[in-house]
Structure 1
Amino acid sequence: MITLRRSSERGHAKHGWLESRHSFSFADYYDPGFMGYSDLRVINDDWVAGGAGFGAHPHKDMEIITYVLEGSIAHEDTMNNASELKAGEVQVMSAGTGVFHSEFNASDSQKLNFLQIWILPNQKDVAPRYAQKDFSGTKGITLVVSPDGQDGSIPIHQDARLYQIKLDTEACIFSAAEAKVYYIHVAVGGLVLNGISLQAGDGAYIADEAMLRIEAQKNVEALLFELRGH
């Protein structure tokens, strides 16, 4: 079963320097029908003006994944990390017992577009940790986040996996695991999922589908979440 979540249905916030689309309830956008899916709690599609960003703010007991689509992020945190995160890179911050961090557009003139993703952890009060990795050179379906760092992915504290999908015009097959549910978010371009068309910003809940056929309509970049079944 595939249930669509169209881009136009998402929550929308505009604050001058920031424009954001929320796949699930977040901040001032609240819809009890869209509070997340399994352990996936947040997908925010953020556009940040040049030189602007999020000042130092706290997080606790959350797995925070940042996926940069355009531009670059200047990141600092209380774990003494100071780094620049560019398009194609993935950052994972396990907030654990608590961490402060800031994220600013590293450019004064170019816009920044990134996805911020929150996944609920399966352990609380763990020591905070940080990692980032460049996946910009990969094609096809690539595992980028997992519970155990499988195949060079970044580990998180949850039985969840995140796959990056990058296709030009080809098609690929993904075999779904038993007792798992899936969520797909199309970031760039368009694709056809088991005969259903999705465009940039669209998402879909996926359950009880043994096989996913993903066909690129045009150059596509998407994220596929593998989550614990209900």
Structure 2
Amino acid sequence: MKLRRSNERGFADHGWLRSYHTFSFAHYMDPAHMGFRALRVINEDRVAPGRGFGTHPHRDMEIISYVLDGEMAHEDSLGNGETMRVGDVQRMSAGTGVRHSEYNASSTEGLHFLQIWIEPAATGITPSYEQKAFSSEARTNQWRLIVSPDGREDSVSLHQDVNLYTGLFEGEVPTPPPHRHAWLQLVSGELTVNGEQLTTGDAAALGPDETLEISQAKGAHVLLFDLA
């Protein structure tokens, strides 16, 4: 198991935006952390009230947004206009090309969300969009599938062989879902993973022959990627 500690991540402070980069992104370059399997980006973004990312283009990337706190306004060239709230998951397949913007929908409160990029199984696909809400009850003390290649269990579908689970845990943690290659991201709280103590922002990577044992959760909000 390889650990990626929170304080080792890249960091950018633009005033209106404070962003932590788990993998190389924009002006942050770390050849040892260019991604993990098809997982290319995990950015933890905090956006000031009324500010955001203006309209910009993307191609050939599966872009997942997961709101942790606040509200995010999304618009894109596909004609979608949505406001995302806590627990909402959005998938935008950029494919042949799409333009979009994301803004903090509040003029008084901050926005905290994760931006996740996954490389698609094929390039040049037709751009598409999907968004679903996952209540805290559906994520409490259980592993909830939120993204999958086939949209099973009412998850958001993805053009890649990746399953993404989340959970809000306290105390004992149920046996995690099986994995091929696993990336575990601790969004917040504390967690013991294979005997190692993880705290907010830490991550762990495991191969297909490595057992994943999780215990001693304290206010733990976890993301678990199962990747081919």
With the shorter chain as reference, the TM-score category is over 0.9
Which of 132, 149, 152 is matched with 1:150 structurally? 152
State how 1:66-215 maps to structure 2 within 5 Å: 66-136=65-135, 137-138=137-138, 139=140, 140-177=142-179, 180-209=180-209, 211-215=211-215
RMSD: 1.2
Measure the CA separation in 2 of the matches of 1:171 and 1:114.
Answer: 24
3-state DSSP class of the match of 1:21? strand
- Residue 183 of structure 1 deviates from its aligned partner by 0.4
Residue ranges of structure 1 left out of the alignment (5+ in a row): none
Amino acid at match of 2:37: S
Measure the CA separation in 2 of the matches of 1:184 and 1:175.
Answer: 12
Measure the CA separation in 2 of the matches of 1:143 and 1:132.
Answer: 14
- 1:166–1:220 CA contact under 8 A, matched in 2: yes
- Residue 170 of structure 1 deviates from its aligned partner by 2.4
Corresponding residue number in structure 1 for 2:223: 223
**Number of residue pairs aligned between Structure 1 and Structure 2:** 225
Measure the CA separation in 2 of the matches of 1:123 and 1:182.
Answer: 22
- 2:183–2:225 CA contact under 8 A, matched in 1: yes
- Residue 160 of structure 1 deviates from its aligned partner by 0.7
- Residue 171 of structure 1 deviates from its aligned partner by 1.8
- Residue 210 of structure 1 deviates from its aligned partner by 5.2
- 1:175–1:212 CA contact under 8 A, matched in 2: no
Measure the CA separation in 2 of the matches of 1:222 and 1:112.
Answer: 19
- 2:147–2:163 CA contact under 8 A, matched in 1: yes
Q: Which runs of 4+ in 1 moved over 3 A?
A: 208-211
3-state DSSP class of the match of 1:189? strand
Measure the CA separation in 1 of the matches of 2:42 and 2:66.
Answer: 10
- 2:146–2:155 CA contact under 8 A, matched in 1: yes
Aligned identity (percent) is 49
3-state DSSP class of the match of 1:212? coil
Corresponding residue number in structure 2 for 1:65: 64
1:153-192 residue CA offsets vs partner (Å, 9 max, x unmatched): 1111101110112112222212534xx2110111121111
* TM-score where L is the length of structure 1: 0.94
- Residue 103 of structure 1 deviates from its aligned partner by 0.2
Measure the CA separation in 2 of the matches of 1:11 and 1:67.
Answer: 20
Amino acid at match of 1:101: H
* TM-score where L is the length of structure 2: 0.95
- Residue 214 of structure 1 deviates from its aligned partner by 1.9
Measure the CA separation in 1 of the matches of 2:70 and 2:172.
Answer: 27
- Residue 215 of structure 1 deviates from its aligned partner by 2.1
- Residue 127 of structure 1 deviates from its aligned partner by 0.9
